[in-house]
């Protein structure tokens, strides 16, 4: 366990379904992220939240809708997805660190999403 927990670990959904991915961090971090990792592609940043405020949306289609009710929880609401949206969705968190020490992200284990 990294301190960032994602549920479910696996999800299969039809193109007309609505589902949500959940992420919870127990590290006291104040920033949370959603990344998408498709097969044989680099990780793609989707959304960034600082103190519950969305600060980044990297041109993500509206069928992906993030929600951050507090600094410990992050959701990704999914609706009318396409088969090409099948991927590993990773949540991460971070905290303002001292320079020169461990910084950057703590990732969860991801949700493997398959759209059929």
Partner 1 sequence: LAKTTQPISMDSYEGQEVNITCSHNNIATNDYITWYQQFPSQGPRFIIQGYKTKVTNEVASLFIPADRKSSTLSLPRVSLSDTAVYYCLVGDGYSGAGSYQLTFGKGTKLSVIP
Binding site for partner 1 (CB under 8 A): 2, 4, 29-31, 42-43, 45, 48, 50-51, 55-56, 88, 90-92, 94-97, 99-110, 112
Smallest gap from Cβ 65 to partner 1, in A, equals 20
**Closer residue to partner 1 in complex, CB, 81/87:** 87
Sheet harboring 18-25: ordered strands across? 4-7, 18-25, 73-79, 64-70
Three-state SS at 96? coil
CA 25 → CA 34, 84, 91, distances in Å? Answer: 13, 28, 9
**Would you say 21 or 48 has its CB closer to partner 1?**
48
**Do residues 27 and 93 make contact, with C-beta atoms less than 8 angstroms apart?**
yes
CB closer to partner 1, 13 vs 88: 88
| Nearest distance, CB of residue 36 and partner 1, angstroms | 11
Nearer to partner 1, 17 or 106 (CB): 106
CB of 56 to partner 1, least distance (A): 7
Max Cα separation, the chain?
47
User: What does the alpha-carbon distance between residue 39 and residue 36 come to, in Å, rounded to a whole number?
Assistant: 10
User: What minimum distance in Å lies between the beta carbon of 96 and partner 1?
Assistant: 4
């Amino acid at each position: 366990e990294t301190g960032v927990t994602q549920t479910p670990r696996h999800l299969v959904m039809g193109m007309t379904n609505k589902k949500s991915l959940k992420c919870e961090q127990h590290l006291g971090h104040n920033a949370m992220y959603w990344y998408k990792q498709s097969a044989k592609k680099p990780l793609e940043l989707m959304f960034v939240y600082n103190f519950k405020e969305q600060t980044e949306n990297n041109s993500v289609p509206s069928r992906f809708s993030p929600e951050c009710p507090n600094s410990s929880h992050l959701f990704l609401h999914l609706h009318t997805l396409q088969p090409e949206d099948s991927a590993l969705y990773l949540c991460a968190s971070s905290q303002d660190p001292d320079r020169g020490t461990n910084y950057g992200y703590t990732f969860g284990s991801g949700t493997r999403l398959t759209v059929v």
